[in-house]
Structure 1
Amino acid sequence: MKRISVDIGGTFTDCFFVWDDKYIEAKALTTHHNLALGFNEALDIACRRAGLDRDQVLSEVDSVRYATTLGTNALIERKGPKVGAIVTHGFEDTIPLSRGRGYGEGLDPAMQQNLPAAKRPEPLVPRHLIRSVKERVNSAGKIVVPLDEDDVRKMVRELVDNGAEALVVSLTNSTENPEHELRILEIVLEEYPSHELGAIPVLLGHQVSGRKGEYVRATSTIVDAFLHEIMFHALSQLANNLRDSGYEKPMMVIHNSGGMAQMNSTDALQTIHSGPIAGVGAAEHLSNETGIGNVIATDMGGTSFDIGLVPAGGVKHYDFQPTIDRWLVSVPMVHLLTLGAGGGSIASYDRIHKGIKIGPESAGSNPGPACYDRGGLRPTVTDADLLLGYLDPNNYANGFIKLNPKRSIFAIEENLCDELDMDVIDVAKEIKRNVDEQMAIGIAKELRVRGYLPEDFTMLAYGGNGPLHACGIADHAGIKKILAPPFSSVFSACGAGNMKPLHIHERGAHVVLYNATNRSLYDKYDEFNAIVEELEAKGREDLVRQGFDPEDVRYRLEMDMRYGNQLVTTAVVFDITRMDGVGDVLHMIRTFSDIYQQRYGEGSQAPEAGIRVTTIRVASFVEGDVVKFESLDYAGERTEPIPVSYRDVHFVKEPKPINTPIFDATALTHEHRIVGPAIVTTENTTYLVEPGWRLEPTPQGAVWFLRD
């Protein structure tokens, strides 16, 4: 296996390079003006470590995979084209009204409780760029009012004349019958052919989302259109860079569904959060390979702290109507909680609570934290870590970035010391305590709302800052075991290397598996199987178009199910893909009951209310080679390694600095045990072993943090 996997984050570009039996990790600063430059630098570092030439590598690798947060950042910064929308006559205000919930979606719980003070987000499609056309399809897919094509041409011209640079077509009930949406696309191409300068991208709602619900389908398509241009140009830039270096195969893009596809089979919406989700995929793979049980995946990078949940058995949680920024969308996405708490998160004074506030604003990679000495003037988490003695100013990021403690002192003194009436070290301790507590609260909430206890989970700490803050976070959250996985500083990039080519297609459905009124079971097997076959055909077509053999395509059937008229639905994965008789119906009901019981407790099932299916979903994928994780157990003798130096280090719970042993990467072998307090500095990350913890490496390079 020869593979390059890249995770382009807000601060660093991570590269995980597989060359036969060699696994190599490398990092470089993200170059936002041209992502290819940061990629080239990270790959050059990896190639030097492998003793290979970059052109040789790119001509021989089997694939290059990208995960990126570019779309996320573009949406936050509102960097996108003017989008025009075409809807069904009478539904012109569906998008602006946003179901009456636009004030609250995407806000934190505190702001949702204070809705009178909340503001609607700036619309991606202003009201003057929304037009309606005369047509109507009913809920059964029957055309009630034929499409008025002259009206369509008039509305399209009005939108273009008003400056629309992308068009969204989202008609009522188009998931049941897309005929009118497809005809509007043809009309637009007739008016503005793709080969002419005035051509603009056109996105159809039923192709972006197969679910019912006009508003959510429309917002999904609008977000996709808004990000289309920037993602197209950025990914094309990366693809052209690869071709210029001799790589001739299609570039693969990681999707937030937990899979990947070629760029020509990727929607911009599918790239949102794809980097962190690749890390959750790696956590799932590690859980399956090593049997470590329940895992809470935590990725602390330079810009954010991402939390993903992987219960025992490696089953991920999905959001099927997630909120992206301030917009509710309808796209299957691996569930992820993101907090604005990374190494580059800015610490500011909160005048209301008279304390320190961490994030969500970040210094990014340019100018970066104050200690980067690149013009940053505001204190960050990394500045606090440096002054507390956790970081080596001459050996940060493998020595590529020299840290300047004087800049950190200046930034904290200028912005926080006077306000808090504290000295620099005490402020730095407060920053460390605050950010650890903030991340721990996020973890505990994520677990408890799903009925789990933190002490039953192993915390997976990765990302450039994960092993540095892991002990502090675990202390606040009540977690007893931490694992810094193999390749922890580039673990999300490692996860991108394990992704399968995968497409998810879904369709809203009304299937009553058990009718409580007449006590009957569902018996329309051909109708159900026809829907599944249609979804399988779409997935197979996607994968065959990318060059895969149809015989290699595998399918997974999933359904959203609920008891009676419950508002909450449960996603259920089945080990069968067809319904051929009463036995299959009962098997589906039993599977749903078992999963419901595991999630909500024995006795919570309510079959007497009826059992309904609201969505049928098929995941189509192709299996491939993956990175192998070895056992995390070691029963042999362990000894204390010899420190390379000592320095005074400040810990949050200790009133005075402690003369702390410092180790290098040679200490991270499975024959060693390191008892805290201690620090291990490696090329790509720093392991902080706080008092009361010990560190035990494993043979493949993973590291356990265990309580003494």
Structure 2
Amino acid sequence: MATDVTADHRARAPGARVGIDVGGTFTDFVLALPGDARGLLHHKEPSTPDDPARAVADGLAAVLDRAGLGPGDLASVTHGTTIGLNAIIQRRGARIALVVTEGHRDILEIGRSRMPSSFDLHAAKEQPLVPRDRIVEIAARLGPDGRPTSTPDDEELARVAEELAATGADAAAVLVLHGHTDPAFEARLTERLGALLPGLPLTSSAAIWPEVREFERALVACLNVYIQPLMRRYFDRLEALLDGLGVSAPVYIAASNGGSLSLRSAAERPIETVLSGPAAGVTAATRLGRAAGIERLVTFDMGGTSSDIAVAVDGEPEFATHTTIGGLPLILPVVAVNAIGAGGGSVVRAEHGALKVGPDSAGADPGPVAYGRGGLRPTVTDCYLHTGVIDPATFLGGRMTLDAPAAAHALDAVADSLGLDGGDGAADGALRVATAGMAVELHKTLAERGLDPAEFTLVPFGGAGPTHAAVLAEEVGIRAIVVPPTAATFCALGAVGADLRRDFARSLRRDLDDVSVSALRDILAGLEEQARTWLGAQGPATGAVRLTRAADLSYTGQAYELRVPLTAPLTPAGLTEAFHRAHERLYGFRDASAALRIGTARLAISAAGPDLTPAAPATPSAATPPGPVGRRSVLLAGRRVTADVHRRDALHAGHTLTGPAVVEQDDTTVLVPPGWSAAVDPLGNLRLRYS
């Protein structure tokens, strides 16, 4: 159930807003200018992996200079980052410890007792995030009903504090068995331990996410403290650089649920930001879909390091409450984004007599060979350049000239080791390999949901998304593509328009009856109070506030639940029918005689961000589309064709063109292969269709 709970009240004063997305190769900026005919300004700044905040400061100064604005003209800064995600994947977070109920010291090692692969006898199990010698047991435990069965005295706490200090940990998480039933118990325990260890940051698992399943809840808390010192150092550095520029506007961090939260909240709960960049892109795509009348879409985010997809049906992104980060399960609500393959910086190589693409990436430094920064291994971007899809003289609007001969030389070396027909054979083969891998993963994602690719529209973004979109769509069977005008900086656009949003949850684990429904009402009321308190601490720039309530229900005895939106009034009969309808829709039947069980109550609060709904372009369509600015040879599917070259900024609503063609814009290139046509719609989107 979604409820509007306040009148719409926009920011106190209009002003420029900037969205930022830090990627492995480029840091993207979108500057929204309310009341300005320019609307949105876009900028790409090479990332600085040694100091990511430096690229943020340099790019922000550059985009403000382009707009003729000063730092004081900014109303807000919203920033998406993958720093926490990369730290988890690369296992370079803090040295952390875990305090856990006695008898459960092996909780992280046992996990769910599953091997990575049932068919690989040599597969090694994922190393636990916290080694066993940094896990300390404590005589504290709650029963399933929330009543304490063991409460530590002062002597026990002193022992635990001494052992915890001896681990040399930088931070620690606290987990009490059944802690989700009474989060206050675990919070008090954490506070008492903290008083004995004033220099050691401690986090209660139930305070981070009070949901059943101790292993997953332990991981959420451990991951939070694992990346917290790194993220706080980054946020401090970011604040210092922004202060140095003279930026006084509030800073928000894009969240994994597609919303945003204040810098302070992000520092306290950095685990909520690990998928912020990809989620922001999906949010922007669904907004585009609603504006363009597209209900079923697949987003395709191809950046410098990887490619990600997400599915949206009925204009809303799909959310997941169980995902995997660096091989570890995460139970926080996130926009459901799946990694499906290589990015523009993915390395092309010969391995065991076969052509391979990725997963290694050249990143921003040294980057692809064509960047001329010392890179020696060819990448997907080098392949685009060699095949003629991108022009070395117009890359990034001419701000960065690419070295085509160097890319050709690197690809020749790969071709020679495999006996291919020169650089053409290596480049064409690498793009086919990358496409095949993406297509397999995309087919799998849609098939798992029982969805037909032909019913969907592909929305590509990221620097390489529009370049690869038509090739991937044709391989998968998608026949329609919508390329937004701001595709290359789309995740930054999603950030600048993001709502303030946070999710809350609390597990009940009770049979469905009058008593449990009454408890559900009480829990939802408590979650709403927490949500309002959180929102009030985020800053003044809020729009219409919306509350969304749901509950996880199941047949008694089932291991997993179905998410059911809640409608008022809440009654056992109403919840039962809502669950049966959801079960019938997914599985084709209902068991009316079976008892039901309430699992977890969920509540999300959001405050609307700035309205960035695109308006129709002010420039009227010409009677006939402008002719191509040139023609060049492009290698497609193993053969050379002559493609017309168009400038995106010269095409306006109503203009059409047919492939083979290349549409260039300052920050990306759109490929229109043979058999495809393209037309500009009233919102400035380039719509491709396969005939």
- 1:532 lines up with 2:524 in the alignment: yes
Instruction: Name which of 186, 191, 195 aligns with 1:181.
Output: 186
Aligned residue in 1 for 2:106: 93
- Structure-2 separation of matches of 1:326 and 1:261: 26
Matched, 1:572 2:589: no
Q: CA deviation at 1:246?
A: 2.2
Q: Are the counterparts in 2 of residues 355 and 420 from structure 1 also a CA contact under 8 Å?
A: no
Q: 2-side partners of 1:451 and 1:561: how far apart?
A: 22
Q: Compute the displacement of 1:568 (Å).
A: 4.1
Partner of 1:139: 144
List per-residue Cα deviations over 1:336-378 (Å, max 9, x = no partner).
Answer: 1013410001122242xx4322211111111111111111111
Amino acid at match of 2:467: L
The answer (yes or no) to whether the contact 1:303–1:340 under 8 Å persists in 2 is no
Residue 648 in structure 1 maps to residue 595 in structure 2: no
Residue in 2 that maps onto 1:695: 678
- In 2, distance between residues paired with 1:89 and 1:564? 30
Alignment-mate amino acid for residue 610 of structure 1 = A
Alpha-carbon separation, structure 1, partners of 2:223 and 2:125: 16
Distance 2:312 2:408 in 1: 40
With over 3 angstroms needed to count, the CA separation of the structure-2 counterparts of 1:494 and 1:14, relative to structure 1, is: same
Say which is worse superposed, 561-570 or 382-391, in terms of deviation. Answer: 561-570
After alignment, is 222-231 or 117-126 more displaced? 117-126
Q: Distance in 2 between matches of 1:605 and 1:315?
A: 26
Instruction: Report the alpha carbon displacement of residue 553 of structure 1 after superposing the two structures with TM.
Output: 4.2
CA distance in 2, matches of 1:381, 1:14: 20
2:291 aligns with 289
Alpha carbons of structure 1 residues 488 and 597: separation in structure 2 relative to 1, 3 Å: farther
Q: What RMSD in Å do the two structures reach over aligned CA positions? A: 2.3
Q: Distance in 1 between matches of 2:609 and 2:40?
A: 17
Query: What is the one-letter code of the residue matched to 2:676?
Result: W
Please, what TM-score do these two structures have when normalized by structure 2? 0.92
Are the counterparts in 1 of residues 520 and 601 from structure 2 also a CA contact under 8 Å? Answer: no
Decide whether the 8 Å contact of 2:341 with 2:438 is kept in 1. Answer: no
Distance 1:179 1:238 in 2: 34
Residue deviations 1:152-184 (CA, integer Å, cap 9, x gap): 222222232231111111111111123543333
Task: Please report how far the alpha carbon of residue 673 of structure 1 lies from its aligned counterpart in structure 2 after TM superposition.
Answer: 1.1
Displacement of 1:510: 2.4
Assess if the C-alpha contact under 8 Å between 1:464 and 1:685 holds in 2: yes
> Which residue number corresponds to residue 320 of structure 2?
319
The residue type equivalent to 1:256 in the other structure is S
Cα deviation per residue 1:209-268 (whole Å; 9 max; x = unaligned)? 110111111111111111111111112211222222222233101110221111211211
1:518 corresponds in structure 2 to none
Separation (CA, whole Å) in 2 of partners of 1:169 and 1:699: 55
| CA drift at 1:122 | 3.1
Q: Aligned pair 1:116/2:107, yes or no?
A: no
Distance of aligned partners of 1:565 and 1:673 in 2 relative to their CA distance in 1, 3 Å threshold: same
CA distance in 2 between counterparts of 1:175 and 1:231 reads 26
Query: Aligned residue for 2:552?
Result: 560
User: Counterparts of 1:537-552 in structure 2 under 5 Å?
Assistant: 537-547=529-539
Q: Which piece of structure 1 moves more, 37-46 or 456-465?
A: 37-46
Residue 476 of structure 2 aligns with which residue? 477
Q: 1:271-670 alignment to 2 at 5 Å?
A: 271-312=273-314, 314-351=315-352, 354-513=353-512, 522=514, 524-547=516-539, 553-576=545-568, 579=570, 582=571, 585-600=572-587, 603-630=588-615, 639-654=624-639, 657-670=640-653
Displacement, 1:272? 0.9
What amino acid is the match of 2:410?
A
Quote how far apart the aligned CAs of 1:598 are. 4.1
Question: 1:517 is matched with which residue?
Answer: none
Deviations 1:568-606 (A, max 9, x none): 432233344x52xx4xx4444444444444444xx3333
User: How far, CA to CA, are the matches of 1:304 and 1:631 in structure 2?
Assistant: 32
Structure 2: gaps spanning 5 or more residues: 1-13
Q: 1 CA distance for matches of 2:247 and 2:476?
A: 46
Equivalent residue letter for 2:546: R
Q: Which range moved further: 268-277 or 338-347?
A: 338-347
Change (3 A) 1:335 1:484: same
Q: Secondary structure at the match of 2:533?
A: helix
1:10 aligns with 24
2:74–2:249: 8 Å Cα contact kept in structure 1? no
- Letter matched to residue 221 of structure 1: A
Once the two structures are TM-superposed, the CA of residue 271 in structure 1 deviates from its matched residue by 1.0
Quote the Cα distance in structure 1 between the aligned partners of 2:374 and 2:594. Answer: 63
Choose 112-121 or 340-349, whichever is displaced more.
112-121
- C-alpha separation in 2, matches of 1:417 and 1:609: 66
SS in 2 for 1:206: helix
State the alpha-carbon separation in 1 of the partners of residues 595 and 393 from structure 2. 65
Distance of aligned partners of 1:48 and 1:668 in 2 relative to their CA distance in 1, 3 Å threshold: farther
**1:62: Cα distance to partner?**
1.8
1:82 aligns with one of 75, 95, 102: 95
Query: Following the alignment from structure 1 to structure 2, what is the Cα–Cα distance between the partners of residues 526 and 564?
Result: 19
User: CA offsets, 1:379-401, max 9 Å, x none?
Assistant: 21111111000111111112232
Q: Distance in 2 between matches of 1:471 and 1:232?
A: 41
Which residue does the alignment assign to 1:108?
none
Q: 1:48 to 1:599 in 2, by over 3 A?
A: farther
CA distance in 1, matches of 2:403, 2:621: 42
Distance 1:41 1:665, change over 3 A: farther
User: Given the superposition, is the C-alpha separation of residues 150 and 262 from structure 1 closer, same or farther in structure 2, using an over 3 Å criterion?
Assistant: same
Q: Which of 662, 665, 678 lines up with 1:679 in the alignment?
A: 662
Moved more, 266-275 or 173-182: 173-182
In the aligned structure 2, how far is the partner of 1:548 from the partner of 1:556? 21
Q: Does the CA contact (< 8 Å) of 2:72 and 2:249 recur in 1?
A: no
- The answer to whether the 8 A contact 2:107-2:215 is kept is yes
Given that 1:638 and 1:670 are in contact with CA atoms closer than 8 Å, whether structure 2 keeps it comes out as no
Contact 1:290 1:631 survives alignment (8 Å):
no
Query: How far 1:640 sits from its partner (Å)?
Result: 4.6
Q: Is the 8 A contact 2:341 2:437 kept in 1?
A: no
Is the partner of 2:133 in helix, strand or coil?
helix
CA distance in 1, matches of 2:419, 2:224: 44
Cα distance, 1:74 vs. partner? 1.2
Tell me what 2:56 maps to: 39
1: CA distance, partners of 2:651 / 2:61:
25
Q: How many residues align?
A: 671
Partners of 2:556 and 2:450 in 1: how far apart? 22
Equivalent of residue 81 in structure 2, options 43, 68, 90: 68
Structure 2 counterpart of 1:327, which letter?
L
The 1:370–1:607 alpha-carbon spacing in structure 2 relative to 1, beyond 3 Å, is: farther
Q: Match of 2:655, as an amino acid? A: H
Q: 1:27 aligns with which of 44, 53, 59?
A: 44
Letter in 1 for 2:637: V
Higher relative contact order (CA 8 A, sep 6+): 2
Distance 2:239 2:26 in 1: 19
Offset, 1:522: 4.1
Q: 2:134 aligns with which of 123, 129, 132?
A: 129
Q: What is the identity, as a one-letter code, of the residue corresponding to 1:618?
A: L
The one-character-per-residue Cα deviations of 1:487-508 (angstroms, maximum 9, x if unpaired) are 1111111111221111111011
CA drift of 1:114 comes to 3.3
Which of 153, 157, 162 is residue 158 of structure 2 equivalent to?
153
User: Which one is further off, 340-349 or 64-73?
Assistant: 340-349
Quote how far apart the aligned CAs of 1:636 are: 8.7
Q: Is the 8 A contact 2:500 2:542 kept in 1?
A: no
The range that moved more, 435-444 or 622-631, is: 622-631
Is the 2:47–2:55 contact (alpha carbons within 8 Å) kept by the matching residues of 1?
A: yes
Secondary structure of 1:403's aligned partner: coil
Structure 1, 636-645 or 157-166: larger mean CA deviation: 636-645
How far the C-alpha of 1:668 sits from its partner, in A, is 2.5
Give, in whole Å, the separation in 1 of the partners of 2:237 and 2:354: 44
AA matched with 1:163: G
Aligned to 1:163: 168
CA contact (8 A) 1:552 1:622 kept: yes
- The verdict on how the C-alpha distance between 1:631 and 1:559 changes in structure 2, with shifts beyond 3 A counting, is farther
Q: Is the contact between residue 544 and residue 550 of structure 1 (CA under 8 Å) also seen in structure 2? A: no
- How far apart in 2 are the matches of 1:550 and 1:403? 44
